[in-house]
Amino acid sequence: MKIFTTRKEILAFLSEQRLQGKRIGFVPTMGALHQGHLSLIETSKNSFDLTICSIFVNPTQFNDPKDLEKYPRPIDVDIEKLTNANCNVLFLPNVQEMYRENETWKMELGDIENILEGKFRPNHYQGVTQIVSKFFELIKPDVAFFGQKDFQQYLVIKAMVDKLKLSVELVLCPIVREADGLAMSSRNVNLSNEERQHALALSKVLFNTKDNFEERSLDQLREDARSFLEHSEGLKLEYFEITEAKTLRPATTKNGDGLVALVAAFVGKTRLIDNLILK
């Protein structure tokens, strides 16, 4: 696997690869890689000549400095995992490589930016679009792969790609879970054994909602789920919502195109999110 840390190096390599007609699949990550990330790499590898993974803990998308500070960065282990996964290129820039001093960014993204995650993490999606647009501009991938785990992030990036009329195609990949249902997340390493058990309430409530989907009304499903989460030990609920999959606005009918249930909660000091497509 080739590892590049500067824009200049990766640009030179990519222009050479493009001359050879190689098609590029791109997987942006913040590292602390797990099977969820590796599933994206594998999907890219199945269809593309060249798979590029980036690892960059993007400071502009963290609204809490402590969260940024304690974000896991096991780079040696990550490199080993990517090598074993036969990833072709790792792009590993530092902050100075990606940002000019005092750089500003504002992209009008509409409603989607301020609801759910956006409401609890102000400016988060400005930071996400800022860095992903930089990566897209630099790498110019044919296709970029994102996990459903961050479903709202996928919709925000789709809105950005439409708005900027970028030619990259986006592919959404399923959530990879632990055997007991917990969605894999880089943040899971911060959970104690006890917290790890408490965290199971998130996936459990999503699966219960899906199981009861036919029998109960949307409002009953919401009420059941919120009540379950509010009474779950060791959990501080931020939101549970059943929304239209396209807009993430609260669903008012079960008859629409697609419905998704989304949840966010603190387990101890660790903030976790999860979601499940209901329909």
For β-strands 89-91 and 2-4, DSSP reports them as parallel
Partner residues linked to 271 by β-bridges: 266
To ligand AMP, the closest distance from the beta carbon of 259 in angstroms equals: 20
The residues in 183-202 that bind ligand AMP, with binding defined as CB under 6 A, are 183-186
Q: Please give the single-letter amino acid code of residue 271.
A: R
State which residue, 136 or 218, has the beta carbon closest to ligand AMP.
136
Positive or negative, the CA dihedral 269, 39, 136, 261 is: negative
Catalytic residue check, 231 = no
- Tokens 């479903």: give the residue: 151
Partner residues linked to 273 by β-bridges: 264
Measured distance CA(118)–CA(125) in Å, rounded: 7
Measured distance CA(274)–CA(76) in Å, rounded: 28
Tokens in use for 16? 């050479």
State which residue, 175 or 235, has the beta carbon closest to ligand AMP.
175
State which residue, 146 or 240, has the beta carbon closest to ligand AMP.
146
To ligand AMP, the closest distance from the beta carbon of 181 in angstroms equals: 11
To ligand AMP, the closest distance from the beta carbon of 185 in angstroms equals: 6
Q: Which of 10, 14, 30, 159 binds ligand AMP (CB under 6 A)?
A: 30
To ligand AMP, the closest distance from the beta carbon of 170 in angstroms equals: 10
Q: Which of 90, 118, 147, 168 binds ligand AMP (CB under 6 A)?
A: 147
Q: Which of 10, 25, 36, 126 binds ligand AMP (CB under 6 A)?
A: 36
Other C-beta atoms lying within 10 Å of the C-beta of residue 215: 8
* Count of residues that interact with ligand AMP, criterion CB under 6 A: 17
Q: Which of 4, 29, 93, 270 binds ligand AMP (CB under 6 A)?
A: 29
Ramachandran sector of residue 110 (left: φ over 0; alpha: ψ -120 to 50; beta: rest): left
State which residue, 73 or 279, has the beta carbon closest to ligand AMP.
73
Q: Where are the alpha helices (DSSP H) in 89-216?
A: 95-98, 117-120, 124-139, 151-164, 193-198, 200-211
For position 39 contacting ligand AMP by CB under 6 A, the verdict is: yes
For position 176 contacting ligand AMP by CB under 6 A, the verdict is: yes
For position 175 contacting ligand AMP by CB under 6 A, the verdict is: yes
Positive or negative, the CA dihedral 144, 187, 120, 232 is: positive
Measured distance CA(204)–CA(128) in Å, rounded: 29
Q: Which of 14, 24, 38, 40 binds ligand AMP (CB under 6 A)?
A: 40
Q: Residue 273: which H helix or E strand, with range?
A: strand 270-277
Contact flags string 154-173 toward ligand AMP, x per CB under 6 A: -------------------x
To ligand AMP, the closest distance from the beta carbon of 135 in angstroms equals: 12
CA 229, 232, 237: angle at the middle one, nearest 5? 45
To ligand AMP, the closest distance from the beta carbon of 231 in angstroms equals: 26
Q: Would you tell me which residues interact with ligand AMP (CB under 6 A)?
A: 29-30, 36-37, 39-40, 146-147, 149-150, 173, 175-176, 183-186
Task: Name the residues annotated as catalytic.
Answer: 37
